[in-house]
Every structure is written in structure tokens, then in C-alpha cells.
Amino acid sequence: MMQRVLRCRASRRPGRCRYWWDQYSADNQGANDMMRKFAAATVVAAVAAGTSWGATAQETVRIGVLGPNTGPYAVIGEEVKNGFEMFFAEKGNKAGNVKVEVLFEDDQAKPDVGMTKAQKLVERDKVAFLGGVVSSSVAYALRDYAVNQNVPLVVTVASADGLTQKQAAPVIFRTNSSGSQASHPFGKWLADQGYKRLVMMAPNYAMGYEQTGGFARTFTAAGGKIVKSLYPPLGAADFGPFLTAFDPKQADALAAVFAGAEAIKYVKQFSEYGLKGTIPLVGTSLLTDDLILAQQGDAAIGITTAMHYSSALDNPENKAFVDAYQKRYNRTPTFYSEGSYVGARVIHDALVARNGDTKDKPALLKAMHDVDFVAPRGRFRFDDRNSPINDIYVFRVEKEGGKLVNKPIAKFDSISQFYTWTPEAFMAMPDYASVANDWAK
């Protein structure tokens, strides 16, 4: 039974009321009723939600792309998104006769968020493929999930070696070079160019260890010597202490790999501390990727790096790719977007080969494994563990028409993640993270 009553609420003027009409229920029943109704409603809703989520008929194939859309790596996440989006836009969002829908989720570069989003994509949104992934720790966490759910995972940025080595699986694919892939031939090239002593620097986590470990291994095998190795903590604001912790006269080159904001700081500080012109700086192209090159300015000129891609590669596929990307997103693509573009193509070509059938998993995985096409980087195909066999280029940063580019000056054909070793021999060696401090002994 509802009644209205005039109530008094304290007001600023002492002794006065702010009156208002309040409605209340004249007995206890109301509260208990409310509780019971609420409880019943919850149960009904839960049951309804559970049963109504049956499989909806699927003519569209969905792809779930994960990447960090927030936080310090947001700009790489954007590259991943762009790569997938542009590819499928070019194909009219179709793969042959089948419609394709790409869903993007933010993994915040955190493994448990990535897991939850992957679960959402696979279980709720019923995606047939997972793709993207920037952070290696997210990639490792998702690897087990993808294997358990038998959903193909196409990693387009995360470079952790292990994903296609000790943790390889038929559902795991990689379109970016593995962490040490570009470094192996580069180390030997440095030795061939006459460098005898190197100082190495990289951030103190897996990416750093793998990228530099690769050239340490081949450089020392070719007779070179690593004089010193330094691993600044990830997120170091200031490389001053590290850049000045060695004597430039002790070495023929400084081999360093940093990425993103760190790479910008590093290259600039390298110049400010007078090292530019005193000692050459070499590394992998994470150090001078197309996104950050403009920020680094003239300090970057002359840096020699190795990777499977730069926007300055001179072939028809790449020209078309760079033009289209420039037109669509108003900036130059990087190997992050190229990797995602290629990843999208792997999925697309497999779907076309299978006529849109995603139910026959072994056949689908085989179709994905067997892709062989010309990508902006050149010929693209997988090795036995679904890691790409790429041409690796040596690039030098030069100014061309007022703009800084990574210009190719040398090329190594068809390099796989294992370089000249057999897979067994390579994986029998200790992983790069555990030997990081041993090179300079």
C-alpha cells in the first residue's frame, strides 16, 4: 500500500526544512518482494542467456584481431588494425564467395586481458581465426588457448622466437620475422664487412635478447668479438648512463636494438653524446622503423639495420601497398602494418582455396600452411613450423627527397628462423634470453 508523506530534509538555514514528498510502502512486504523478484529475474535471465546463445547460422567468416589500442603500444596496435582493415577493404570484405568480417579487440598488451578478449572472440563472437597480437607475453598466453580450441592464430607482430620453435603448433602462424631471424645473416654480414669488435645494447627483456643474440651468435662464429653487452631496463628514460658506459675506441660498431619511443630517444642521445661520427650504429630495423624515422631526424642518417621490410623496397607490390596505405591513413606503412596485411592475406588465400569451408580444420590449416604469394616484402611462404621464409635486407638510413628512408643496400635470399642450422640443432642450443650475458665474456 503506497502512501505519500511530507518530509523534512536539513537545509542550510538552521531550523528550516527543505520539504519534499516521499512515497513509501506501508509495510515490510515491499522490500522482501523486491528482493525475491530480483533474485528470480537474475536466474531467469541467466538461464535465458545460456540457452539462447546457440550457434547462429554462419555465412560470414569472422576474424578476431587483437592488439593494444590503449597504452604505450597503441600506435603499433593501430598499425595492426590498419593492415587487416586495408587488406579486406581492398577485397570488398570477401574471400572468394564468402563474406568476411573482421572484429578488433583491445588486449592492452596484457596477457590476461588478451585471454579474456580471445575467449570473447572465439566463444561469443564465433570467430574462425585469431590474428594480430603485438606483445610476446600475450602471444604466449594465447598460444595455449588457440591450441586447445583448435583455432588458427596468425601472429603478425609479436616476435618471440619460441612461438614457432619450442612452442610451435599447427594452429600457430607467424608473419613477422622471428626475433633473431633478421639478426643471423646480419651478424655474418658485419663480420664480412670487416667489423671485428662490437658493443651490444638492447632492452632487458626477451625481444632485446633475441634481436641482439642473433647477430652475436653469427658474428662470433665468424670470428668477431663482443666486447661489452648492456641491457638497460625497459622504459629507461635516459640512455645517457649506458651510452657513456663504454669506450668507443674499444669497438668497431655499436649494435643496438630498441623500439618505439625508446628507439627515438636512443638515436637522438647517441648523437648528442658525440657517438655519431665516432662509431657506427647498427641494429635491426626496429631501431629505425618508418613510424619513428621522422622523429629521429638527421641523427638517424647512416644507421645500418636489417629486416625483411622497409617502405623503401623497390618492387611493384610494395609501391602499390605504400601508395594505398599513404592515401588511406596519411602516413607511411611499417613492417607492423605490412605483417598484418600479409596475415590477412594468408587467411584470405586459405579461405579461397577451401571455398570458405572452416569446418575441416586439418584441410584449412594445410591451406594456410601452403600459401605462397608475392607480398610487399617479396615472396612469402612458411617453413615447416609456420614461420616465414623471407628475404632479409640490409638497410641504410638516407635522406631521399627531403625524407628519411631505410634504403636497401644488401640482400640475403630466403632466410628462415633457423638460418643455416637444422631445426633440431638450433633448438638444442640454449635460448637467447639465457645466454644474453655470456656473449661479452
Partner 1 sequence: MRKIHIAAGLAALAVAGWLLPPYYAGLVVDGLIFAIFALGVNLLLGHTGLPSLGHAAYFGMGAYAAGLTAIHVSQSFWIGAAAGIGGALLLGAVYGLLALRTAGVYFLMITLALGQIAWAVAFSWRRVTGGDDGLRGVPRPDLGIPGLLDDRNAYFLFALACCIAAGLLMAAIIRSPFGRSLRGIHENPQRMEALGYRVWLHKYLAFVLSAGFSGFAGVVFVYYKGFVSPEAASIVISAEAMLMVIVGGAATTFGPVVGAFIIITLSHVVSGYTDRWPLILGLLYIAVVLLAPQGVVALARRHLLRRAVR
Partner 2 sequence: MTFWSIQILNGLSLAMLLFLLASGLSVIFGLMRFINLAHGSFYLLGAYAGLSVIRVTDSFWAALVLAPLAVAVIGVALQRLLLHRVQSNELAQVLLTFGVLLVVSDLSLWIWGGLPQTLSRPAILEGSWRWGGIVFPIYRLALTITGIVVAIAIWLFLERTRIGAIVRAGVDDEEMVRGIGVNIGAVFSAVFAVGAGLAGLAGVLGGAMLGVYPGADFEVVLQAFAVVVIGGLGSLRGAFIGSLFIGMVDTLGKSLMPDLALFTIFVPMVAMLAIRPSGLFGRA
Query: Minimum CB separation from partner 1 for residue 94, in Å?
Result: 26
For partner 2, which is the closer residue by CB, 149 or 295?
295
For partner 1, which is the closer residue by CB, 172 or 350?
172
For partner 1, which is the closer residue by CB, 200 or 313?
200
Q: Which does 150 bind (CB under 5 to 8 A by kind): partner 2, partner 1, none?
A: none
For partner 1, which is the closer residue by CB, 119 or 326?
119
For partner 1, which is the closer residue by CB, 171 or 312?
171
Contact call for residue 435 and partner 1 (CB under 8 A): no
Nearest to 432 by CA among 210, 246, 262: 210
Residues 209-268 interacting with partner 1 (rule: CB under 8 A): 234
Contact call for residue 205 and partner 2 (CB under 8 A): no
Contact call for residue 372 and partner 1 (CB under 8 A): no
Contact call for residue 137 and partner 2 (CB under 8 A): no
Residue from 79, 85, 105, 289 touching partner 1 (CB under 8 A): that is 105
Contacts (Cβ under 8 Å, ≥6 apart) of 55: 126
Query: Minimum CB separation from partner 2 for residue 101, in Å?
Result: 25
Distance of CA 406 to the CA centre of its chain: 21
Q: Which does 30 bind (CB under 5 to 8 A by kind): partner 1, partner 2, none?
A: partner 1
Query: Minimum CB separation from partner 2 for residue 48, in Å?
Result: 35
Residues 193-212 interacting with partner 1 (rule: CB under 8 A): 204-206
Lay out the site mask for partner 1 across 131-170 (x = CB under 8 A, - = otherwise). -----xx--xx--x---------------x----------
Angle at 279 between CA 278 and CA 280, to 5 degrees: 130
Contact call for residue 8 and partner 1 (CB under 8 A): no
Query: Minimum CB separation from partner 2 for residue 142, in Å?
Result: 22
Contact call for residue 110 and partner 1 (CB under 8 A): yes
For partner 2, which is the closer residue by CB, 42 or 70?
70
Task: Using CB under 8 A, list all residues that contact partner 2.
Answer: 70-75, 77-78, 204, 230-233, 235-238, 240-242, 244-245, 260-261, 264-265, 268-269, 272-275, 291-292, 295
Residues in touch with partner 1 (CB under 8 A): 24-26, 28, 30-31, 34-35, 39, 42-43, 46-47, 49-51, 53, 69-70, 105-106, 110-113, 115-116, 119-120, 123-124, 136-137, 140-141, 144, 160, 204-206, 234, 433-434
